[in-house]
Chains A and B, each alone.
Chain A
Amino acid sequence: MIELKNVTKKYHDITALKNFTLQIPKGVLLVLLGPSGCGKSTVIKLINHLIEPTSGEIYINNKNINEMNLINLRRSIGYVIQSIGLFPHYNVYENIIIVPRLLKWSKKDIDHRVDFLLDLVGLNRNYKNKFPFELSGGEGQRVGVARALAADPPILLMDEPFGSVDPLNRERLQKEFYKIQRELKKTVLFVTHDVEEAIRLADNIAVMKPGELASLGSPWDFVTDHREEYVKEFLGGEYALKLLTRFMVQDIMEQKNIKNKEYTRGRVLQVKKENTVSSALALMISKGIDFLEVVDEQEEIVGSITFEDILKNVFRGTRK
């Protein structure tokens, strides 16, 4: 568990954080959303103690970080820096294994781990010998993510980790990351500007305004709960639609007898079960229908989805 209590951080005369309090329970992925300069990176750097709070306390697993061994603390936290920060004189392999090497892992374990991580972030294994200057921004960023995950740390601090990855790979990385997070249950603080990314990944979303927390809740809470005009504005009018990208058709479909075609008004169209619910809705809207058949990879019909299912399952709070 990560806990910031009444933390204030001043850089000379700029107050970057004002009386900031936030909790990230163990195993929870919290996304910190907010405009540029509101203090997101500052929060991250306070947690791994790269900067000192002007006042207030920070706890990790109920221990004040001032009383912890700084080096061990940092080695147990995976850190993705906003500016990517690959070391130019190290190749991809050497960049990834920095923490395992500091922890004196065996060569064999390290090699296995690197292969696993490169597969995970979707980089070819022969990238190991490339130097950072030979990588595109997005490739470099993926190496940065692999480096943070290298020693399998229980805590992850990720400062816009997918910022310069192209949309296709970005979505793939988000899915991949969501999957391992559900499995490994790390405690994650994930910073982003991107509302859709926040929706896809977050257990909790914290929306910041300059120096302060504006609102905190689950992705569903923000559909209805707009305590502040600022939050509503920041999340945008299409927030509810964006929320649909979080779900796959298979999460909310009905495995009922699809011979019952009471819903159809026109021709029956099909949607793949691992497509997002938003793409299913888009298809319904574009064809003017409210019923789709759901098929699996083998094009076998496995169920159906209706407009009513979407309303019921997404917006009335039930998740399969």
Chain B
Amino acid sequence: MSDSGKKISILGALVLTLSFLLLSFAEYRPNRVLTGTNIGARELFGNGFFLLIFLSITIIVLIITNHKKYKLMVGLASLLMMGLVLYLFGTAIVKETFNIIPNGRISLGIGFWSIFLGMEMVMNGCLKGDKKCILYRRLFYTILILMILIFLLSGHLNNLSIMKEFFNRSGTFFRQIRRHFSLSIFSVIAGLILGIPTGVLIYKERKIEGPILFIINLGQTIPTLSLLGIVMVPLTLLSQQNKFIKDIGISGVGFAPAFIVLVIYALFPVVHNTIAGLKMIDQDLLETAAGLGMKNNQIFWKIQLPLSLPIILGGIRIAITQSIGNTILAGLIGGGGLGSIIFLGLAQAAPDLILLGVIPLIAMAFIMDSVISFFIFFYKKRYLGLAE
């Protein structure tokens, strides 16, 4: 482990310890909107508190003593700590004390976010300079997410206010997740259908590179919200004037403008990475392919596309994670998705409702990012002999 990495992870472990000592892990509110009282780890977790402190100190000791398998041990200790926190939290909030008032709510305190930060610092430091860093990270967070999911599904955390929000609107919740996901994915697919050929064209005809990239880059520089406005105006006019367009459901609000904006955003990484991927291929290989008697289209499908695939996939990865985030805006104009939940939460000043929208959003982005990263990693290793 590098020295600076060590410093970061020790700092992270200190953040963990201090969070348990100083910060609040739950906020109790008599009803949905009133501000409530903070409850610290000692009070909330009872004797489990000492176990948590013990675990944080163990992590520090493991790092300082440079234990042989410290990466594995630190990872396990961190996961154990998170599991313990979730378990103790669930147990604590069913306690009578917090359930006296029927409308009373318990939400996550700042300590939770703080230990996430601390854990990330520990991870980051430990894995700094490690070749398989990305793989380990993903493994760690996948286990963590699975753990959280198990706690959620088992009903152990049902008294948490965010779960109450969830039960209040679980029907809409799942519908919006699906809608969010399909809006993001289909806009990226449309972005690919337009973007990859555009990239190939620009690669072949360097003359058109300037003007086309100018337009695509411009789309990227305009803030998303403004772009949405820009797209809405002509769409509204169109649907007012053309009955057919109106009949197939396209109008200035709802699905259509959101979709168009998302496609424009997806174009940027797809086009740029397609060009970069093609440019990166060794000219000698293309010359060899031609010299062996491959036709141009054979060279494209058999040589250029497979060799630039990792970079194009990298563009797709960026496009998807970005699109999942940007799809929130669809909620603003009646396009649905998790944005609707988030903006409703903002309007009602209900933080739990906001979280209910944000958490699946992060999970979705993380999962898509991981899936594509893994695929790129596998492809590079298997076919190009390159480790990340």
> Which residues of A are in contact with B by a Cβ distance under 8 Å?
45, 48, 50, 71-75, 77, 79, 81, 83, 85, 87-89, 98-99, 102, 131-134, 147
B275-313, CB < 8 A from A: 284-285, 287-295, 298, 303, 306-307
The contact sample of 18 A-B pairs, CB cut-off 8 A, is: A45-B291, A50-B291, A71-B295, A73-B293, A74-B293, A75-B292, A81-B287, A81-B288, A83-B284, A85-B284, A85-B287, A85-B288, A87-B288, A87-B303, A88-B385, A89-B383, A131-B383, A133-B386
Give Cα A131 to B290, complex, Å.
21
B-side contacts of A71, CB under 8 Å: 293, 295
B383 touches A99 (CB 8 A): no
Q: Is the interface of B mostly helix, strand, loop or mixed?
A: helix
Given the known interface contacts A81-B284, A83-B284, the answer about A88 and B383 at a Cβ–Cβ threshold of 8 Å is yes
B-side contacts of A89, CB under 8 Å: 306-307, 383-384
Give Cα A99 to B285, complex, Å.
15
Contact code string B372-388 (vs A, CB < 8 Å = 1, else 0): 00000000000111100
B385 touches A74 (CB 8 A): no
A-side contacts of B384, CB under 8 Å: 88-89, 133
Q: Is the interface of A mostly helix, strand, loop or mixed?
A: helix
For A72, A79, A85, which residue has the most chain B Cβ atoms within 10 angstroms? Answer: A85
Give Cα A88 to B284, complex, Å.
12
A-side contacts of B291, CB under 8 Å: 45, 48, 50, 74, 77, 79, 81
A79 touches B385 (CB 8 A): no
Q: How far is the CB of A161 from chain B (nearest CB, A)?
A: 13
Chain B residue with the shortest CB-CB distance to A72: B293
B294 touches A102 (CB 8 A): yes
B292 touches A74 (CB 8 A): yes
A-side contacts of B285, CB under 8 Å: 85, 87
Give Cα A102 to B288, complex, Å.
14
A-side contacts of B298, CB under 8 Å: 102
Give Cα A89 to B298, complex, Å.
15
Q: How far is the CB of B95 from chain A (nearest CB, A)?
A: 60
The 6 closest A-B pairs by CB, nearest first: A133-B385, A75-B293, A85-B288, A74-B293, A89-B383, A79-B291
A-side contacts of B307, CB under 8 Å: 87-89
Give Cα A71 to B295, complex, Å.
7
Q: How far is the CB of B55 from chain A (nearest CB, A)?
A: 43
Among B292, B295, B303, contact of A79 (Cβ-Cβ < 8 Å) = B292
Give Cα A73 to B290, complex, Å.
11
Give Cα A132 to B292, complex, Å.
18
Chain A residue with the shortest CB-CB distance to B298: A102
User: Beyond A81-B284, A88-B383: 12 further Cβ-contacts under 8 Å?
Assistant: A48-B291, A50-B287, A74-B292, A83-B284, A85-B284, A85-B287, A89-B306, A89-B384, A98-B292, A99-B292, A99-B293, A132-B385
Q: How far is the CB of A214 from chain B (nearest CB, A)?
A: 27
Give Cα A98 to B285, complex, Å.
13
A134 touches B292 (CB 8 A): no
Give Cα A87 to B289, complex, Å.
9
Give Cα A30 to B290, complex, Å.
24
Q: How far is the CB of B80 from chain A (nearest CB, A)?
A: 40
Chain B residue with the shortest CB-CB distance to A79: B291
B247-276, CB < 8 A from A: none
Q: How far is the CB of B223 from chain A (nearest CB, A)?
A: 40
A-side contacts of B290, CB under 8 Å: 50, 74
Give Cα A73 to B326, complex, Å.
53
For A50, A132, A147, which residue has the most chain B Cβ atoms within 10 angstroms? Answer: A50
For A48, A81, A89, A133, which residue has the most chain B Cβ atoms within 10 angstroms? Answer: A89
B-side contacts of A81, CB under 8 Å: 284, 287-288, 291
B-side contacts of A85, CB under 8 Å: 284-285, 287-288
Q: How far is the CB of B163 from chain A (nearest CB, A)?
A: 48
B-side contacts of A132, CB under 8 Å: 385
Q: How far is the CB of B299 from chain A (nearest CB, A)?
A: 11
Give Cα A147 to B306, complex, Å.
20
Give Cα A75 to B295, complex, Å.
11
